[in-house]
Chains A and B, each alone.
Chain A
Amino acid sequence: SQTIHQWPATLVQPVGSPLSLECTVEGTSNPNLYWYRQAAGRGLQLLFYSVGIGQISSEVPQNLSASRPQDRQFILSSKKLLLSDSGFYLCAWSKSGPGYTFGSGTRLTVV
């Protein structure tokens, strides 16, 4: 069966520090991968999606970037965090079916 792993679960980072969040999927190949961000009590904002290795589409211009160095690995990065980057970051995957499977999320607080 397919599983998605996302870490860390919680992160507190100072303003101006770098960020790296990792997501891996097991049990499938060539999945579509996504990064979403959710502000407290709000909906999900699509940040990046990838349909293959090295293929990244950005939905929101900001100081975040994403990379897909391997087929089932998706990384969200920032060189310098802003206070506004705080939120709940969710990685998700999909393939032929209509639904997304989400990871357990990373709660990021920038202080």
Chain B
Amino acid sequence: GQSLEQPSEVTAVEGAIVQINCTYQTSGFYGLSWYQQHDGGAPTFLSYNALDGLEETGRFSSFLSRSDSYGYLLLQELQMKDSASYFCAVKDTGGFKTIFGAGTRLFVKA
């Protein structure tokens, strides 16, 4: 079967750094993506890793280790507006389907 595991909740202080981990077990793998979803809104695409290593996009970075079936999203200089749910997602072989994790709710405190 296919499954993605990520923590259900994370709390951090404004200005801090937080890491959201994701482990996956899928029948095929084409890349690991991260999405952000604010309450009541639609998910928005943040980052994508097809190869091992770190990808940086502004305050957000994403890491992938294919041998460990593991990745993480790193958020730096946290802001209150970063309070949202973050989903890791795996594209299956062929790249047509994306399976999402259950999401991590991030609470940023002042």
Chain A: residues with CB nearer than 8 A to chain B?
32, 34, 36, 42-46, 49, 51, 57, 59, 90, 98-105
Chain B, 15-74, CB within 8 A of any chain A CB: 31, 33, 35, 41-45, 48, 50
The chain A residue sitting closest to B85, CB to CB, is A41
Are A99 and B45 in contact (CB-based, < 8 A)?
Answer: yes
Are B87 and A44 in contact (CB-based, < 8 A)?
Answer: yes
A100: B residues at CB distance < 8 A: 35, 43, 45, 98
Chain A nearest CB, measured from B2 CB (Å): 10
Given contacts A90-B42, A102-B44, contact A43 B101 (CB under 8 A): yes
Of the four ranges (under 10, 10 to 19, 20 to 34, 35 or more), the interface on chain B belongs to 20 to 34
Chain B: residues with CB nearer than 8 A to chain A?
31, 33, 35, 41-45, 48, 50, 87, 89, 91, 96-103
Chain B nearest CB, measured from A40 CB (Å): 11
Residue picked from B31, B45, B99, B103, most chain A C-beta under 10 Å: B45
Given contacts A99-B45, A100-B45, contact A42 B103 (CB under 8 A): yes
B97: A residues at CB distance < 8 A: 46, 49, 59
